[in-house]
Chains A and B, each alone.
Chain A
Amino acid sequence: MTALALPSQFSARVDVNRSLGGGYVVLEFSGVSGGALGEVVAGQFVMLRGEWGRELLNPRAFSVLWSEPDGRFAVLLKAYGQGTSRLVASPVGARVTVTGPLGRGFRPTDGAVTQLLVAGGVGLPPLHLQARQASARGQAARLELFYGGRDRDDLVLLGDFEAWGVRSVLATEDGSVGARGFVTAPLEQRLVDARAAGEAVEILSCGPTPMLAAVRHIGLRHDVPTWLCLEEEMACGFGVCLGCAVPVHGARPYQYCCSDGPVFEAKQVRWP
């Protein structure tokens, strides 16, 4: 895991508010007054706060979908509570305060190990960015996407993975696309096949907590290195409020999602 650019706080404007269907929205931003996000590792995140006055205080954490050297960046979101609802409704030109890039992301593929990217819901961005960056280095063939959702509308940005040449295995609960059921079933079969073939694989996952819990168990059961990109309620995003505790094994009972993570090794996480 690596962290490159120092974080900064800056003001940005909404350049694009693009609906992908299924409630998913991509917001694209550019920094104003010289603000820029800098280089981002897949899994790193930003804290975003609109001009929300005094009623809604805390910024919201979003994994970075992509960022460009000129300072533009994007996030993927869905309306869930008050903060996300306001952001989803942001008109072009709306101002936000940005803090980032924050946290420690996934490590890039070293070429020798196949990375299985397991995504669900708004957990797609860190894996999307991992694939984008691997593709830029000519390593797309070392990645495979396992992407699950409730239905067809729950799987977004599939064309990007296709364009990068990343093989995708899809699953939907209603069977409208790919295998019927959870994506963890084809994932587990893939691990069995890899073991039989003597192929080195590791799992990188981000998505709803029940999915991450299942992926963690599968990774542990098959003794495959597994990295989970977690989400916890956080107020600051940079290690001050201590709200986003993650229970871990080891000398300390907790680490922090924002500053020690959000990427944690599955065996380190103290979940049932």
Chain B
Amino acid sequence: MTAIPRTTAIDPASVDLRTRLGKLELPHPILAASGCFAYGQQFADFMDLRRLAGLSTKGISPKPRFGNPLPRICETSSGMLNSIGLENVGAEAFLAEKLPFLAELGISVWVNFFGEDFASYVECARLLEAGRGHGIDVLEMNISCPNIKKGGIEFGTVPEVAHRLTRACVEVTDLPIVVKLTPNVADVVAMADAVAQAGAAGVSLINTLTGMAIDVRTRRPRIATMYGGLSGPAIKPVALRMVHQVATALPQLPICGMGGILGGEDALEFIMAGACCVQVGTANFARPDAALVVLDELRARMADLGIGSVSEVVGCIRPLPPEAPRVDPAG
């Protein structure tokens, strides 16, 4: 039989939620995810943003971008598809108009960024470097959005290309770069290894899975671009598998986990799979204070299970023990 760890409940107030992603220290593991939190301001009506460990902004490109035609979203079983089209205000407007609000919060500010080609990725990292010391703590490099054309797919799927791109961006900024990887690859460990070798401070796992939904009445796709990114609890098992694969193969590489986290137990699963922090995404649409619900539930669940600190359970899972050997009396 499997040995089950002690489950004597402890006082929730005594649970030590502190964690770290490389050199970055966080008061607890719960951040809000890129694309699901805009630039933060909209949430101030509904929650105390300062209770978050941090947030990752909407993806920023060097120039502003308008989004895709509609419909852009549709709900699917335990998830949703989106093809927003990386709409954003652009790096210059972000630094001038959005960053000051975020800098005041005193939480870890991750700026998700991307380019439309190799050069514009590097340009974006260089532009955002100006926010170092003015509120930006981490650059989260998005090499994985399914909703960009112009050959962008190879940034996230060819290890050598990802390596070169990461290295080029690391060279133009002193901010730590966490690379957000796509699950739409055969070997996520090879991708993680490639960006780690290039100087990434960590990886975010995972972005959306490419998917599709059809309206059989109209015989049309339910989003205008035909395919979109699937998020929500439907993708959580895939995300956990990838976090665990990377954590196992590359134990020194810090991982921020995400994909369908709705509650505290989801977050704890990611942590046990090997993530040192997590992001809450699609759940923010279900209720604006979702990330704080996850935080409160995580503390309560850990206390129930007698887990005194996050650090003691990061990557703690072990395989099930082998079966007893079979004895065949007739043999």
Contacts and interface: CB of A to CB of B under 8 A. Distances in A.
Contacts of B38: 239-240
Contact of B285 (A232, A236, A247): A236
B285 A241 contact: yes
Interface in B28-83: 36-38, 42-43, 45-47, 66-75, 77-80, 82
B156 interface: no
A242 B42 contact: no
A217 to B, nearest CB: 20
Given A54-B233, A232-B70, A243-B72, A8 B45 contact: yes
B282 to A, nearest CB: 6
Given A99-B288, A238-B288, A253 B66 contact: yes
A240 B42 contact: yes
B232 interface: yes
Interface in A210-256: 232-236, 238-247, 252-254
Question: Which of B43, B72, B79, B285 has the most C-beta atoms of chain A within 10 angstroms of its own C-beta?
Answer: B285
A243 B147 CA distance: 13
A257 B38 CA distance: 16
Given A239-B42, A240-B285, A241-B36, A55 B70 contact: no
B46 to A, nearest CB: 5
Contacts of B232: 57
A52 to B, nearest CB: 9
Contacts of A238: 42, 45, 288
Contact of B286 (A7, A57, A232, A239): A57
A11 to B, nearest CB: 10
A9 B46 contact: yes
B141 interface: no
Given A57-B233, A233-B74, A235-B80, A242 B87 contact: yes
A94 interface: no
Given A241-B73, A253-B66, A99 B87 contact: no
Given A238-B42, A254-B66, A254-B67, A54 B72 contact: no
A104 interface: no
A6 interface: yes
B145 to A, nearest CB: 13
B276 to A, nearest CB: 25
Looking at chain A's contact residues, the main secondary structure is loop
Interface string B86-97: 010000000000
A243 B159 CA distance: 32
B261 to A, nearest CB: 11
Contacts of B233: 54, 57
A128 interface: no
A55 B87 contact: no
Interface string B125-149: 0000000000000000000000000
B284 interface: yes
A135 interface: no
B289 interface: yes
A57 B84 contact: no
Contact of B284 (A7, A240, A252, A253): A240
Nearest to A55: B78
B294 interface: no
Contact of B73 (A243, A247, A254): A243
Contact of B67 (A55, A239, A242): A242
B82 A243 contact: yes
Nearest to A60: B75
Nearest to B262: A54
A242 B34 CA distance: 13
Interface string A57-83: 111000000000000000000000000
Given A99-B46, A242-B87, A58 B286 contact: yes
B242 to A, nearest CB: 20
Contacts of A254: 66-67, 70, 87
Contacts of A99: 46, 287-288
A234 B70 CA distance: 11
A240 B45 CA distance: 13
A245 B285 contact: no
A99 B46 CA distance: 9
Interface string B277-318: 000001111111100000000000000000000000000000
A147 B179 CA distance: 55
Query: Which 6 pairs from chain A and chain B are nearest by CB?
Result: A243-B73, A235-B285, A236-B285, A240-B38, A9-B46, A245-B70
Given A236-B285, A243-B71, A243-B73, 6 more contacts: A49-B286, A49-B287, A54-B78, A97-B287, A239-B42, A254-B87
Interface of B: 36-38, 42-43, 45-47, 66-75, 77-80, 82, 84, 87, 232-233, 262, 282-289
